[in-house]
């Protein structure tokens, strides 16, 4: 399911795009593609778009682990603001990612801010990227 809220095509408003896919690594390509497309709206450099795409993919992979979760979903919410993109990913993981892991180091190197937390439904990771050549 894809839900778009906001005024498409305007860069001075906040747009929210929600994406829900089955909690299966095979669907990560859908989220990676959406990440790159939405990042392009911020007029980021190609390197910044690629960094964000990799960070979102890594966050999703951390929340999935190496297994498929039948009947579970991976939820991704992209909040596009002038000059910034926030990505909130929720998945079926029951334990928070290890902040001393290589994967966590990759996340911190690729985006400006990384946060994580847990709810009864699973864990979440929020990535925030500020940049671009125009707001």
Question: Does residue 135 fall inside a structural domain?
Answer: no
- φ, ψ for residue 102, nearest 5 deg: -60, -40
Question: Does residue 60 fall inside a structural domain?
Answer: yes
31/94 Cα distance (integer angstroms) = 21
Radius of gyration of the chain (CA): 14
Give per-residue pLDDT as tens, 121-134.
889 999 998 875 43
- Model confidence at 29, in pLDDT bands (50, 70, 90)? very high
Q: Give me the CATH number covering residue 29.
A: 3.30.565.10
Domain count, the chain: 1
H or E segment to which residue 104 belongs? helix 102-110
| Structural domain boundaries enclosing 73 | 2-6+15-130
Question: Does residue 98 fall inside a structural domain?
Answer: yes
Give per-residue pLDDT as tens, 89-135.
999 888 888 888 888 888 888 998 999 999 888 899 999 988 754 33
Q: Residue 28 above 90 pLDDT?
A: yes
Question: Does residue 24 fall inside a structural domain?
Answer: yes
> Whole-model pTM above 0.85?
no
13/31 Cα distance (integer angstroms) = 23
Cα 86–chain centre separation: 7
């Amino acid at each position: 399911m894809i839900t778009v809220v906001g005024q498409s095509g305007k860069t001075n408003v906040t747009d929210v795009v929600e994406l829900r896919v089955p909690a299966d690594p095979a669907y990560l390509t859908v989220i990676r593609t959406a990440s790159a497309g939405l990042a392009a709206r911020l007029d980021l450099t190609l390197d910044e778009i690629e960094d964000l795409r990799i960070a979102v993919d890594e966050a999703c992979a951390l929340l999935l682990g190496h297994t498929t979760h039948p009947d579970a979903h991976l939820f991704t919410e992209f909040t596009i603001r002038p000059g910034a993109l926030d990505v909130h990913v929720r998945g079926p993981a029951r334990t928070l990612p290890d902040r001393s892991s290589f994967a966590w180091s990759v996340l911190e190197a690729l985006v400006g801010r990384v946060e994580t937390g847990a709810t009864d439904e699973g864990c979440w990771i929020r990535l925030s990227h500020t940049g671009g050549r125009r707001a």
